[in-house]
Each structure stands twice: as C-alpha cells, then as structure tokens.
C-alpha cells in the first residue's frame, strides 16, 4: 500500500513526516498522469500544485478553515488529499466533477469555474467569520497569476486590504500562465518579484564590503540603508501589494514543500490579510508537459501517458474552421482585429496572431474590458472580433448592452462552445447566450449549422459596422455540410416532406439542425406534411420565418439554449403579434444548472433527441385533433 492509499482526510496528511511528504508528492504526480490520461481533464494545472496543495492541508484545518480555489481546475490534488481517490469516472455522469463540488465534499466551497472570483468569496467568508466571532478560523484563497488579470480580483483585493484583523490568506499561484502565458502589467510585476533572490545576495555583498572597510560611521549606515531600499525598489517591488495594506510573503519556491509550509505558517500567524506569492511550474514532473510551449496539457482528452499524444483526433472542428476563416478575413480586411481573454489557442486565434501579431490583443481574463475596449476600437475605425467561450460572455453582458449596443458599435462576438457542452459541468454549458442576447437592441446573431454557413456568417458579421453581431457554434466535431433546397428571404429550406393536410414547420437552430431534420423525417413517417428550415441568422427573428409560420398549422423549434426567452419563445411572440394562429411548440434547455455528463447524455435527459421530440409533437398534434 502506497502513502496515497492511506490518505482519507487532511488529518492523515498532517501526520506525515517530511520524508513521507516528498514521497507522497511523487505518488500523486504518477497517479494524476495515469488517471487523467485515461479520462481526460486538467492535467498541467494539477501537476503544478502538488506541493502547494499538500502544504495547504498541513498548515490549515479544512473544512474548519475554508480553502477557496479560484477557477477550480487545479483542485484534483485537493480532492485526493480530502479522501476522493476514485478518478475512474472523472468528469463523467455519476463520477467526480472536474471542479470543486459541494455535493462531493464538505471541503469544497466554490463550484463556479469562472475565474477571478475566489478573492471575493474569501472576503465575504472572512467578514462573516469576523462578525460571528469565529476569530480562530482562517480563510484561504488560492488564485493564479492569470486570474489576477481579472478586474474582479482587484476589486476584492481593495476590500480585503481594509480588513486589517481578518484572518485571510491569499495564495498567488504564479506559473506565468493561465491557458497561455500571462500578459500585461501584472505579469511584468510578478516577473520582477521573482528576482528577489538577487536582492538578498546584493544586500549581503554590501554588508560584507562595509565589514571589510572597518567600523562603519553614520554615513556608511545611511549608504547601506539606501542600498537596501534601492535594491528592494528595483528587484522586489512588492510595494504594490503592501501599499494596499497587505502583508507580502515571498516569492517562495512552490515545489519546495517545506518552504511553502513555512511561508503559510508565517501567514497564518500574522492575524491579518497576507499575500503569499508561490512560484510553480505548470505540468511539473511530466516531461511532455514541461517541454510543451503551447500549453496543450492545460486540459487534455485521453492521451498516451508516456508520450502525451492524444489517443483520438482533435474534436474541435468548429474552432478550426473559425481559425482558418478569420485569417482569410484578416487578409481581406486590414481593419479587422482580434481580441481574446487569455485564450488565444482554445478559441482558435493562434493562426491569426501568427500572421497578424500586431492585430491581436490578449487582455487577460477580463471579458468586461474586452467588450468595452472593442467598442473603443470600433469608434476609432477598426472592426474588432472578440472570441470567447459562450459561457464567459455572461460576464460582459452589461458591456455588450451599454457600451457596444447602445453606441451602435460594429463589434463581432464569436462564441465558441455554445449550447450544451457537458463534461465541465454547470458553469461551462454555453446555454445562456440566445436568451440573454435576445434582449439587446440591434444585436444580430447567427447560429451556423455547418462549415459553409460558419464561414459565410463570419464574413457577413464583420461587414456590419453599425451594431453588434454574434456568431455562435458548439463544441465538438463538425458534421457534413447540409445544403439548402432553397432560400426564402434569408431562411434556408432544408427538407420538404409531402403528406396529409396537417402542415408542420420544424425550425432548427445551429447545432440542432441535424435533430430537426431527423424529427421532420419521423413526423413525415406518421403522415404529416413537413417543412424543415434553418434561419441561420436567428436574432432578431426574421420576418420571413414568421411568414413561414403563418403558412403552417403547427410550428416546432429546436435550440440548445434556454427554452424560456429563447428563439422559439420569440418566434411565438412575433407570430402572435402577426396574428398567426399556428401554435409554436418550443424545445430547448430548461432554466436549470446541468450537472456534468456527456452532451449526448444531457440531450437524452432533457428529451431533446429526435424520437422524444417527435413523440411530443405527435402528442400535441393528436390533442389538437
């Protein structure tokens, strides 16, 4: 039995000897490579926080002391140390979540995997502890240098600094990366902090020089003081934190468990807010990850554990098509620029950056800033393309509404992983955008169904210079093209089935077009006359789609966004306003948080598969008589 097998709780971690701690770290790394290579998941971030996680649980008493992980993708080691060692179904239905989960353990606090939130959580928890008189309980926030690029983190730091007697420790896990190398002034500041080793060595040289020159007088002492201050200002500018009123400890070698533990004990004993700056290496101990410059091991699918090579081809066909088309657009349009929120590679902007480096702006994990900065670029004569995951646009809704749309700014938002994504759980499903963006005046949204419509939608979107445009597409592989039989004023007719007098219009939105076609065939098999269409530009609801609804007896809509307030609901509203009598039966995602499972499993659970939809439609038709 190895050491890891004996760890059932943090108490077991605290009982280990120094020698056993090192052996445990080695076991954990081997375990992570072996298990995550089988299931897929966030490998690199967790390999980088092994010693840090062990030190946290040796110094603090979770769950009495609260440990909050920002984003949470680096919590696998935390899970192992709190008794969760069955990784066989990681990120699968019924198995362990890829993020902290309250339903799994009392040691988990924040389930939301959106970055830059942990400091606000910690601030709130620490305030509550203080008001309740629980002065012997500590709150710890673990946040990466990448997440510190988010404005919300700095709002929290400003408030944390005011709580001089609150027992709150902020651990900055500094690996110079989020999904990609951390950028901006903060990154440069942390780079400078990493050079503090030079401060101590130069100061020692100054002291030894004074000793050799004989008994120092006042002038020599003043010179030494000036040397100390000058060096500190140059190579250890931790004053940025200390000027806020935050005690600063570090930088500390994050892979020296004893050093990290010592720093955390100092912070714990301080009695007020403390920053502990820990330097770690993402992918530590796994050669393929250490040697990878593109950060392919941040999140992996199933891989060969020895080589790190994927066992199956990349599944992100939609992103690849966008990556190719945005480069083509960039060659044609020198005014088109790209903005990303610390996700250059995942959203497909790396090829654009390689060809047009001066036209790409990585703003860090700051979606709000991305949107408003884009509005400014549009005002100054450019056409910005902001590429983010659909779920992360939620964070910038106010900016989309009040900075972009209100000012009729020509900005294109490209939403990757829109709709049901599955494996990463509730916070990563991109199911909110259709309903959320439907209330933005002037905004136009395209939901392409295949490669040709994606390429066309992007070209059309960047040609709009007086309103925001959105192009959304799903996670996963791209199917074969679905040609249109005809175009009815911008709405593609994809299939017609002749049958009895009952005429049914089936409307598929984006990735649900394939389901719509299958539903059409099933309804036709039961005798209905069916027309299957795709509006392509789903928002605002096209007038031609309302007209088509008026030419049918029953309308069915299918979307992978919220059914309440979604495209189907809007079509029903527009149809009623146009005195269309055909009922609109809408299918989509309920207003609920979907737990982690595969997309197919969630589709089945939500009864969004072709057979379930067709059955519900037939029931509605029979009820009408």
The domain that holds 617 is classified in CATH as 3.40.50.920
What is the arithmetic mean of pLDDT over 519-542? 96
Q: Which member of 395, 444, 536, 599 is catalytic?
A: 395
Q: Which residue has the tokens 């509005």?
A: 375
Establish if 230 belongs to a structural domain: no
Average pLDDT over all residues of the chain: 84
- Model confidence band, residue 434 (pLDDT cutoffs 50, 70, 90): very high
395 is catalytic: yes
Handedness of CA 8, 14, 15, 18 (dihedral sign): positive
φ, ψ of residue 361 in degrees (nearest 5): -125, 110
Establish if 210 belongs to a structural domain: no
How far apart are the C-alpha atoms of 530 and 552, rounded to whole Å?
Answer: 9
How far apart are the C-alpha atoms of 68 and 100, rounded to whole Å?
Answer: 9
- Model confidence band, residue 310 (pLDDT cutoffs 50, 70, 90): low
Indicate whether 492 pLDDT > 50.
Answer: yes
Can you give the pLDDT at residue 231? Answer: 38
Instruction: Give residue-wise pLDDT tens across range 76-90.
Output: 899 899 988 888 888
Establish if 268 belongs to a structural domain: yes
Q: Which member of 325, 367, 451, 559 is catalytic?
A: 367
114 has binding-site annotation:
yes
Are residues 363 and 281 part of one domain?
A: no
Are residues 595 and 548 part of one domain?
A: yes
Half-sphere exposure of residue 175, counting CA atoms within 13 Å on the CB side?
27
Structure tokens given for 369: 């800033």
The C-alpha R_g of the chain, in whole angstroms, comes to 28
Establish if 218 belongs to a structural domain: no
Are residues 151 and 111 part of one domain?
A: yes
Q: Which residue has the tokens 């590679």?
A: 345
367 is catalytic: yes
Can you give the pLDDT at residue 530? Answer: 96
263 has binding-site annotation:
no
Indicate whether 43 pLDDT > 60.
Answer: yes
Task: Lowest mean pLDDT of 1-15, 393-407, 526-540, 563-577, name the range.
Answer: 1-15
232 is catalytic: no
Are residues 460 and 425 part of one domain?
A: yes
Are residues 516 and 459 part of one domain?
A: no
Q: Pick from 442, 472, 502: which residue ends a domain?
A: 472
Task: Rank 226-240, 274-288, 369-383 by mean pLDDT and report only the highest.
Answer: 369-383
Task: Name the pTM for this structure.
Answer: 0.80
- Outline where 386-477 has alpha helix (H): 390-393, 397-399, 433-437, 451-462
Are residues 169 and 91 part of one domain?
A: yes
Indicate whether 610 pLDDT > 90.
Answer: yes
Residues written for the chain: 625
Indicate whether 374 pLDDT > 90.
Answer: yes
What does the angle CA 262 – CA 263 – CA 269 come to, to the nearest 5 degrees?
Answer: 90
- Residue 185 burial (CB < 10 Å; 0-12/13-18/19+)? exposed
Establish if 45 belongs to a structural domain: yes
295 has binding-site annotation:
no
367 has binding-site annotation:
yes
614 has binding-site annotation:
no
Are residues 569 and 528 part of one domain?
A: yes
The 8-class DSSP code of residue 348 comes to: T
115 has binding-site annotation:
yes
Task: Rank 189-203, 214-228, 423-437 by mean pLDDT and report only the highest.
Answer: 423-437
- Model confidence band, residue 582 (pLDDT cutoffs 50, 70, 90): very high
Are residues 467 and 497 part of one domain?
A: no
113 has binding-site annotation:
yes
How far apart are the C-alpha atoms of 154 and 16, rounded to whole Å?
Answer: 37
How far apart are the C-alpha atoms of 284 and 51, rounded to whole Å?
Answer: 10
Can you give the pLDDT at residue 58? Answer: 94
Indicate whether 221 pLDDT > 50.
Answer: no
Instruction: Give residue-wise pLDDT tens across range 378-429.
Output: 999 999 999 999 989 999 999 999 999 999 999 999 999 998 887 776 777 7
Establish if 176 belongs to a structural domain: yes
Are residues 279 and 154 part of one domain?
A: yes
Structure tokens given for 188: 């440069």
**Residue 355: CB partners within 8 Å, gap ≥ 6?**
327, 330, 331
Indicate whether 599 pLDDT > 60.
Answer: yes
How far apart are the C-alpha atoms of 182 and 343, rounded to whole Å?
Answer: 10
Q: Pick from 472, 507, 524: which residue ends a domain?
A: 472
Instruction: Identify the CA nearest to 558 among candidates 614, 624, 497, 486.
Output: 614
- 489 versus 217: the higher-pLDDT residue is 489
Task: Rank 179-183, 210-214, 479-483 by mean pLDDT and report only the highest.
Answer: 479-483
Can you give the pLDDT at residue 313? Answer: 56
The answer to whether residues 558 and 588 touch, using CB atoms and an 8 Å cutoff, is: yes
Which residue(s) pair with 413 in the sheet? 386, 470
Establish if 153 belongs to a structural domain: yes
Are residues 339 and 255 part of one domain?
A: no
Question: Strands (DSSP E) along 76-122, which ranges?
Answer: none
Q: Pick from 472, 499, 521: which residue ends a domain?
A: 472
List the domain range (segments joined by +) for residue 121: 4-195+236-290
Establish if 213 belongs to a structural domain: no
Indicate whether 157 pLDDT > 70.
Answer: yes
Are residues 174 and 27 part of one domain?
A: yes
Angstrom CA distances, 581 to 302, 506, 572, 573, 584, stand at 51, 16, 10, 11, 9
The number of domains in the chain is 3
3-state class (DSSP) for residue 546: helix
Q: Which member of 79, 282, 475, 536 is catalytic?
A: 282
Task: Lowest mean pLDDT of 28-37, 202-211, 249-258, name the range.
Answer: 202-211
Are residues 122 and 253 part of one domain?
A: yes
Can you give the pLDDT at residue 162? Answer: 81
CATH number of the domain enclosing 179: 3.40.50.970
- Model confidence band, residue 586 (pLDDT cutoffs 50, 70, 90): very high
């Amino acid at each position: 039995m190895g050491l890891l097998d004996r760890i059932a709780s943090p108490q077991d971690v605290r009982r280990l000897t120094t020698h056993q701690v090192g052996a445990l770290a080695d076991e954990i790394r081997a375990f992570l490579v072996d298990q995550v290579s089988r299931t897929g998941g966030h490998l690199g971030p967790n390999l980088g926080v092994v010693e840090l996680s062990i030190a946290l649980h040796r110094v603090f008493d979770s769950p009495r002391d609260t440990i909050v992980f920002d984003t949470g993708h680096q919590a696998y080691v935390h899970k192992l140390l709190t008794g969760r060692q069955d990784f066989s179904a990681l990120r699968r239905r019924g198995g362990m979540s890829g993020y902290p989960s309250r339903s799994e353990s009392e040691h988990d606090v924040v389930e939301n995997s959106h970055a830059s939130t942990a400091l606000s959580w910690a601030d709130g928890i620490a305030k509550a502890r203080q008001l309740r008189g629980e002065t012997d309980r500590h709150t710890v926030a673990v946040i990466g240098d990448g997440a510190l690029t988010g404005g919300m983190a700095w709002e929290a730091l400003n408030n944390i600094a005011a709580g001089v007697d609150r027992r709150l420790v902020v651990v900055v896990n500094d690996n110079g990366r989020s999904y990609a190398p951390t950028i901006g002034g903060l990154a440069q500041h942390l780079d400078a902090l990493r050079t503090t080793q030079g401060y101590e060595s130069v100061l020692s040289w100054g002291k030894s020089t004074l000793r050799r020159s004989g008994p120092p007088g006042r002038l020599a002492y003043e010179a030494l003081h000036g040397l100390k201050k000058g060096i500190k200002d140059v190579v250890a500018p931790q004053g940025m934190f200390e000027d806020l009123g935050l005690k600063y400890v570090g930088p500390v070698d994050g892979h020296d468990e004893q050093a990290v533990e010592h720093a955390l004990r100092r912070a714990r004993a301080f009695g007020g807010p403390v920053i502990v700056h820990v330097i770690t290496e993402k992918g530590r101990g796994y050669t393929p990850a250490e040697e990878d410059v593109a950060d392919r091991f941040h999140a992996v699918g199933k891989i060969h554990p020895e080589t790190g090579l994927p066992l199956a081809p990349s599944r992100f066909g939609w992103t690849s098509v966008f990556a190719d088309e945005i480069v083509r657009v960039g060659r044609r349009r020198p005014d088109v620029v790209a903005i990303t929120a610390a996700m250059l590679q995942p959203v497909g902007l790396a090829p654009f950056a390689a060809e047009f480096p001066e036209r790409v702006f990585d703003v860090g994990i700051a979606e709000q800033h991305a949107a408003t900065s884009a509005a400014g670029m549009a005002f100054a004569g450019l056409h910005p393309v902001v590429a983010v995951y659909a779920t992360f646009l939620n964070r910038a809704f106010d900016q989309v509404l009040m900075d972009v749309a209100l000012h009729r700014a020509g900005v294109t938002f490209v939403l990757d992983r829109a709709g049901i994504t599955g494996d990463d759980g509730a916070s990563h499903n991109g199911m909110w955008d259709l309903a959320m963006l439907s209330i933005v005046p002037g905004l136009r949204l395209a939901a392409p169904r295949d490669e040709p419509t994606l390429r066309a939608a992007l070209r059309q979107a960047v040609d709009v210079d007086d309103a925001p445009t959105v192009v959304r597409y799903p996670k996963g592989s791209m199917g074969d093209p679905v040609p249109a039989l005809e175009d009815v004023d911008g709405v593609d007719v994809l299939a017609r089935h002749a049958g009895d007098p009952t005429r049914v219009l089936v409307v598929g939105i984006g990735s649900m077009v394939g389901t719509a076609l299958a539903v059409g065939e099933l309804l036709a098999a039961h005798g209905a006359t069916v027309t299957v269409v795709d509006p392509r530009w789903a928002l605002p609801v096209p007038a031609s789609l309302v007209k088509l609804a008026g030419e049918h007896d029953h309308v069915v809509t299918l979307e992978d966004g919220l059914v309440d307030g979604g495209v189907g609901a809007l079509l029903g509203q527009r149809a009623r306003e146009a005195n269309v009598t055909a009922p609109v039966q809408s299918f989509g995602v309920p207003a609920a948080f979907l737990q982690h499972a595969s997309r197919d499993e969630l589709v089945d659970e939500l009864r969004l598969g072709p057979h379930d939809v067709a059955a519900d439609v037939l029931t509605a038709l029979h009820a009408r008589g």
